[in-house]
Amino acid sequence: MLTLGIETSGKVASAAIADGERLIAERILYTRLTHSQIILPMVQEMLAECGLSFKELEAVVCAAGPGSYTGLRIGIAALKGIVMGAPHLKCAAVSTLEALAWGCAAFRGRIVPVMYARPQIVYAGEYESAGGITALSEDRVVNEKEFFGALDVSTPVLLTGDRAAEIKGLYFADEPNVLLPPPTQRLQKASALCEAFLADPARAVPPEALEASYLQATKAEKDKAHRDQ
């Protein structure tokens, strides 16, 4: 299934095309520009270079979150816009943390993706990698000291994500069972979204059903709650 992936949940803007047997193309850009300026031109240029059009694609997938509130909305809006112009496309949104685990799927064992949320607070998940990626718990937003203080490290654990290196240094500097992938595998990438979707195409939903999963209240929601007190 020829699938386009769009990744805008963090500082990386990424687009990829894969079909389950090969990665046809991928672009990754670590940028300070807003993803709304980057992602659709990136997709269009990549398709043109591959000699493909939206009509030839069969599915499109983006990051559901957690991640940047604005980035997630940009990715989901871009996906919905693409599907409006090519309604034959299947579409889905994949957990950002699950996709980070898929980016390290060559590792066998537990993978803990961890992303910065705010000081001392992280987004974290636990996944098992064994020829595929299986969630061991729900993704959540947690106090990093409490979460990693209780983490079972009696067997090897791979940390990934934008907070992985800092967590390793702070809590597991002398623990050989806590491992890190190379830096190039610790950030979000669109090809991992494609892998996750192609492993389970049944996760496709109608575009109107796509919603971001922030895992915590947005600033607007927090401000409203404060005003209502």
Give me the DSSP letters along 104-169.
Answer: TTTS-EEEEEEEEEETTEEEE--EEESSSEEESS--EEEEHHHHHHS---SS-EEEESTTHHHHHH
Mean pLDDT (whole number) for 12-30: 96
Q: Could you name the CATH architecture of 98-185?
A: 2-Layer Sandwich (3.30)
Q: What is the pLDDT of residue 213?
A: 93
pLDDT at 220: 46
Tell me if 3-95+188-216 shares its fold with 98-185: yes
Dist. CA 129–CA 106, nearest whole Å: 8
Return the CATH superfamily for domain 3-95+188-216.
Answer: ATPase, nucleotide binding domain (3.30.420.40)
Q: What ranges do the domains of the chain cover?
A: 3-95+188-216, 98-185
- pLDDT given for residue 216 in this prediction: 81
174-211: pLDDT as tens digits:
999 999 999 989 999 999 999 999 999 999 999 999 99
The pLDDT-based confidence of 217 (bands split at 50, 70, 90) is: low
Angle between helix axes 69-85 and 35-50 (nearest 10 degrees) is 40
Is the model's pLDDT at 145 over the cut of 70?
A: yes
